[in-house]
Amino acid sequence: MKIVTAEFIRSCVDPEQFPPGDLREIAVVGRSNVGKSSLINSLLNRRDLAKVSRTPGKTRAVNLFRVSTSDQNLAQFYLVDLPGYGFAKVSRSIRAEWAPLLEAYLTDRSPLLGVVLLVESRVVTDQDRQTLAWLRSIGHNPLVVATKADKLKPSERVRTLRQTHLDLGLIEGEMLIPYSAVTGDGRERVWGALRDLAKI
């Protein structure tokens, strides 16, 4: 599948700023510093489309990217980068501002086709588990992607990913895709899963 165009559209800090719903949307969610921006750039074959920051908690808005592809099932859609959760140094007041925005988007957004939940391949937190459970409780069955897979040694890869699967409480057969924004490993599997989702 070829990415024809990919462009940043807007940052939304209030639900009233969300687009009118003319295109389907795929949201990317995960804790701070899990690699959301890096994954978005990797998926879209763009170097700096989503701004990567070394400061966790930097994304403080819902950022929308309009994507056109050569695939008829995903010809055009919004890829949506949501603020990260779980970084202690982000002030409580800012986290309090994020929560209603995230909840409004994930619970009320009718064009939302699916959610990609990112977890780090080596570290699963209570907040990751809670987020997965909450997404399921509001009707989403997220595609779970384990980032930074390139940091796993070949000898530990299978064991670590199996443990990640267990730590998240995924049942046998539920997909966990290892991904590396450095090498591109997992890119085709993620796009394949998104294309399958678009066919439903």
Give the model's confidence band at 32: pLDDT under 50 very low, under 70 low, under 90 confident, else very high: confident
Distance between CA atoms of residues 2 and 100, nearest Å: 35
Give the model's confidence band at 96: pLDDT under 50 very low, under 70 low, under 90 confident, else very high: low
Q: How many domains does the chain have?
A: 1
What percentage of the chain exceeds 70 in pLDDT?
A: 88
Give the pLDDT score at 157.
92
Give per-residue pLDDT as tens, 159-172: 999 999 999 999 88
CA angle 28, 30, 32 (to 5 degrees): 125
Residue with tokens 């064009």: 111
Give per-residue pLDDT as tens, 113-138: 999 999 999 889 998 999 999 999 99
Starting at the earlier edge strand, list the strands of the sheet with 76-81: 3-12, 62-69, 76-81, 25-30, 112-120, 143-147, 176-178
Give 8's strand partners: 65
CATH of residue 168: 3.40.50.300
Distance between CA atoms of residues 145 and 88, nearest Å: 23
DSSP-derived secondary structure letter, 38: H
Flag whether pLDDT at 54 surpasses 60: no
Note down the domain range covering 19: 3-199
Of 25-34, 57-66, 75-84, 137-146, least confident by mean pLDDT is 57-66
Compute the mean pLDDT over every residue in the chain, rounded to the nearest whole number: 87
Give the model's confidence band at 92: pLDDT under 50 very low, under 70 low, under 90 confident, else very high: low
Higher pLDDT, 186 or 56: 186
CA angle 154, 43, 165 (to 5 degrees): 45
